[in-house]
Amino acid sequence: MTLEEIQSEVRANLRRSTTALSDARLLVWINWALDIIADLHTFEEMKQKVTDSTTDTVENKSFPTSMKDLISIKLISNSNSRKLIYVPERLFDKVIPNPDSVSTDIPTHYVDYGPSYDLFPIPNDTYVLKIRCSIYPTHLASASDTIVIGDDETPFSRIADKLVCYAATAEGLSSLRESKESTIWWGKFTGAFKVALKTDHSAVDWTPIARPYNARTTVVGDYWLNPLIKSSP
């Protein structure tokens, strides 16, 4: 469905004309509904791969736009390619209070903090970063917009069209102080959402094993200069 079609459906559910209720107000409820769906569950379509790059001597990087959850970050540099290792911020600050005091090198670790992350060691060159993460659906704006996710515009209409119509209707009725009607539509949304969860495919092919945090990794180069490397690889 396009935004225009979604607005028409929600307006019919609300029983309000364009004179009584503007398209702009409908759009707010529709985009709220999109966020609600994504907050409740990370559907397979939301799982994206984003390509970025480091900048020589720059420690801090921003996460991808509209990112929900981070899965992993890989640094690509021929034979020196590796998955970057997450370090909790308090541990990092304790072990390395001043990252600038350590020589720049190929990053091996990262610290997730707020809307950005720090690389360590600070990069000594430009390297490709491959990020696995989940991304929120793109907010709708134009009449012809459909529900998509990420820069490659992965279609999300299969899951979201009906759910958005139901949730936006419930939000609208709540805003219009029609509480009983709103409760009915939230019930319709809940039922449809449970069905959507059953259709979301699962491709899990691993057995989880709990392990304590360990900063050690295989490092090529002057590993002894990295305070997070405890011994010879």
Picking from 133, 166, 183, the residue at the C-terminal end of a domain is 133
In a domain, 173, yes or no: yes
Domain co-membership, 118 together with 169: no
Phi, psi angle pair for 97, to nearest 5°: -65, -25
Domain co-membership, 105 together with 170: no
In a domain, 93, yes or no: yes
Domain co-membership, 89 together with 28: no
What is the structure's pLDDT at 207?
75
Domain count, the chain: 2
Residues in the chain: 233
In a domain, 170, yes or no: yes
Residue range of the domain that includes 11 = 3-43+156-199
Domain co-membership, 78 together with 117: yes
Are the beta carbons of 161 and 140 closer than 8 angstroms? Answer: no
In a domain, 209, yes or no: no
What is the structure's pLDDT at 114?
92
Question: What is the C-alpha separation between 76 and 84, in angstroms, rounded?
Answer: 10
Domain co-membership, 17 together with 63: no
pTM over 0.85: no
Instruction: Give the count of beta carbons closer than 10 Å to the beta carbon of residue 37.
Output: 24
Picking from 133, 166, 185, the residue at the C-terminal end of a domain is 133
In a domain, 33, yes or no: yes
What is the structure's pLDDT at 211?
75
Domain co-membership, 87 together with 23: no
Domain co-membership, 13 together with 51: no
Domain co-membership, 50 together with 129: yes
Task: Give 28-77 pLDDT, tens digit per residue.
Answer: 999 999 999 999 999 999 999 999 999 999 999 999 999 999 999 999 99
All residue ranges of the chain with pLDDT < 50 are: none
Closest to 118 measured CA to CA, from 228, 8, 6: 228
Domain co-membership, 27 together with 55: no
In a domain, 147, yes or no: no
In a domain, 143, yes or no: no
Domain co-membership, 66 together with 127: yes
Are the beta carbons of 157 and 94 closer than 8 angstroms? Answer: no
Question: What is the C-alpha separation between 14 and 230, in angstroms, rounded?
Answer: 63
In a domain, 102, yes or no: yes
Domain co-membership, 55 together with 32: no
Domain co-membership, 31 together with 60: no
Question: What is the C-alpha separation between 66 and 138, in angstroms, rounded?
Answer: 8
Are the beta carbons of 29 and 172 closer than 8 angstroms? Answer: yes
What is the structure's pLDDT at 79?
87
